[in-house]
Every structure is written in structure tokens, then in C-alpha cells.
């Protein structure tokens, strides 16, 4: 007997996205299982951030479908979609003079009707999000006074307060120093282990191999390959996608594939 097929949580079918009539994502088919930690990788201008924005309904495709729980994304209302999926864009900016607790509390908006009073559930969700991201002690600070690493944790706290089971993050480690990059990725791995479905665009192959359980490699607006880090991080695949002559070794700490340029 064959095992029954499993419906992917988030799926793109024949996805085509264009900017000013120039196609930048061309015919992408992608399945993202529930409970996975997926990293999208590729050279600059390969279409990885564009795919993520289309998955989040920030961009409207020229052709194709995006489905969440088997239902087309365009059929979701804005609040309903926000209860299912949260996005951290590259250029997230808080309003000037906003305190951390106030920003994180905005994650509760999809759960509240117009003019509805703040509830105990809202308070609990905000407090738990601050605690989970280690930002409770920052709650009265102004967001624009924080370091880059602190701000990224605060934005993730907002996503947690939103309590959406799917988290999409577009290059969340950009502009962070190496210590804060690993701190952020450790947090995302912990959230994944707690049941979140995490999809992130990253640039660093070794970080992706260490933290993700699935990789999506893109080149020239198309998907070159999908699979586990062990399956995809090979000298041949790295040469094909990134044009790099590389060795692939075992990371001495984690045992995951580690890319070293020759």
C-alpha cells in the first residue's frame, strides 16, 4: 500500500511574478510542509525575496496560484490571513517614538474586532511574546533606540503576539553582526521546534544548512532544487547555482554540511 499524500500547508503552483512587465519569477512550483523550517537561497536577483512576498500576498502574481491550507490566498480576508500567517519584511520600520510594548501589541489587531476593548487574551499573548523573544526588559524602551539585533527580536515578538502558525521572514539577518545573526537564528529554531512553520530568505549557505531542515535553491527566477541540506549542499549543486568552486565538509560542531570556497 502507498502512503496517503500529505497536503502542503503553503503551496505555489506555476507562480509567475513581474515588475514593470519584466518577469522575475517564472513558473515556480513550491510545497512547504507544516512544521518545517525552510530557507530560500540563491544569488542576488534570483527571485527569492519576490517568491516570499508572493507567498505572503504582498505581491500579486501575473499567473499561477498560492494556496494556504489548500485554499487560494486571494480568498482570505485580511484579518483571517493575518491570523494564519505573519511576515517580517526586509524594510520593517516602526513609527517614530513608539515603545516596544506598543509595537508588539499591534500583533493582536487581527484578533480584535473594530472598537473592541483590550482583553486578557491580548495581554497574555503580548506578554508571552515578549518573554519568548527575551524582550520583556525592553518593553518601555523606544524601538528606534534599540540595536539592530534587539529590533529584530522585537519584530519577531510582534509576529508571536499575532499567533499565526506560519512565519515568513525576508533576510532577517541582514545588517546584523555575526553574534546577533546566530542569536536570531537560534530563536527561529526554538520557535520552529515549538511548532511554528518558518520560511526565511537567507544569504549564508552555512547558516542555512545548520538551521533549516529544507532548502529551496533559486537561480534566474526559477527553482533549481529543493530538499534537505545534506541532499542539496554538494560541490556540484553549489557550482551550478552560485558559480562557486567549493569543498563541502562536515561542520565540526553540528555535523551539517559546511561550504568552503577553494
Domains observed in the chain: 10-261 (3.40.50.300)
The owner of cell 526554538 is: 190
Alpha carbon separation from 123 to 87, 120, 155, 160 (Å, rounded)? 21, 5, 17, 13
What is the pLDDT, as a whole number, of residue 115? Answer: 57
Q: Rounded CA gap, 52 and 199, in Å?
A: 8
Q: Rounded CA gap, 111 and 79, in Å?
A: 7
What is the pLDDT, as a whole number, of residue 143? Answer: 95
3-state SS assignment for residue 28: strand
Helix H or strand E segment including 179: helix 178-193
Please report the beta strands in the chain, taking only residues with DSSP state E, as ranges in sequence order: 10-19, 22-32, 37-41, 63-68, 71-72, 85-88, 166-170, 197-201, 214-219, 222-227, 246-250, 257-261
What is the pLDDT, as a whole number, of residue 3? Answer: 43
What string of DSSP letters covers 181-246? HHHHHHHHHHHHHTT-EEEEE-S-HHHHHHH-SEEEEEETTEEEEEE-HHHH-SHHHHHHHH---E
Q: Rounded CA gap, 212 and 40, in Å?
A: 10
What is the pLDDT, as a whole number, of residue 114? Answer: 63
Q: Provide the residue-wise pLDDT of the chain in tens; the chain has 262 residues.
A: 444 445 789 999 999 999 988 999 999 999 999 999 999 999 999 999 999 999 999 999 999 999 999 999 999 999 999 999 999 998 888 888 999 999 999 999 998 766 567 788 899 999 999 999 999 999 999 999 999 899 999 999 999 999 999 999 999 998 889 999 999 999 999 999 999 999 999 999 999 999 999 999 999 999 999 999 999 999 999 999 999 999 999 999 999 999 999 8
The owner of cell 512576498 is: 53
pTM: 0.91
Identify whether the C-beta of residue 8 lies closer than 8 Å to the C-beta of residue 57: no
Amino acid at each position: 500500500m502507498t502512503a496517503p499524500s500529505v497536503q502542503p500547508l503553503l503551496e505555489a503552483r506555476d507562480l509567475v511574478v513581474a515588475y514593470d512587465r519584466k518577469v522575475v519569477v517564472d513558473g515556480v512550483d513550491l510545497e512547504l510542509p507544516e512544521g518545517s523550517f525552510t530557507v530560500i537561497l540563491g544569488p542576488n536577483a534570483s527571485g527569492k525575496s519576490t517568491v516570499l512576498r508572493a507567498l505572503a500576498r504582498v505581491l500579486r502574481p501575473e499567473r499561477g496560484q498560492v494556496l494556504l491550507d489548500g485554499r487560494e490566498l486571494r480568498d482570505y480576508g485580511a484579518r483571517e490571513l493575518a491570523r494564519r500567517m505573519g511576515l517580517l519584511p526586509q524594510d520593517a520600520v516602526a513609527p517614530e517614538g513608539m515603545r516596544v510594548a506598543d509595537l508588539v501589541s499591534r500583533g493582536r489587531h487581527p484578533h480584535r474586532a473594530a472598537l473592541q476593548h483590550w482583553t486578557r487574551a491580548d495581554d497574555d499573548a503580548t506578554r508571552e511574546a515578549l518573554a519568548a523573544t527575551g524582550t520583556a526588559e525592553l518593553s518601555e524602551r523606544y524601538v528606534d533606540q534599540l540595536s539592530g539585533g534587539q529590533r529584530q527580536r522585537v519584530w519577531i515578538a510582534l509576529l508571536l503576539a499575532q499567533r499565526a502558525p506560519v512565519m515568513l521572514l525576508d533576510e532577517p539577518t541582514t545588517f546584523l553582526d555575526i553574534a546577533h545573526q546566530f542569536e536570531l537564528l537560534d530563536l527561529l529554531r526554538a520557535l520552529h521546534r515549538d511548532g511554528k512553520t518558518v520560511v526565511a530568505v537567507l544569504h549564508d549557505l552555512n547558516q542555512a544548512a545548520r538551521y533549516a531542515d529544507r532548502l529551496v535553491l533559486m537561480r534566474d527566477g526559477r527553482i533549481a532544487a529543493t530538499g534537505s541540506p545534506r541532499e542539496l549542499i554538494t560541490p556540484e549543486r553549489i557550482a551550478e547555482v552560485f558559480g562557486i568552486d567549493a569543498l563541502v565538509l562536515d561542520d565540526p560542531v553540528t555535523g551539517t554540511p559546511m561550504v568552503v570556497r577553494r
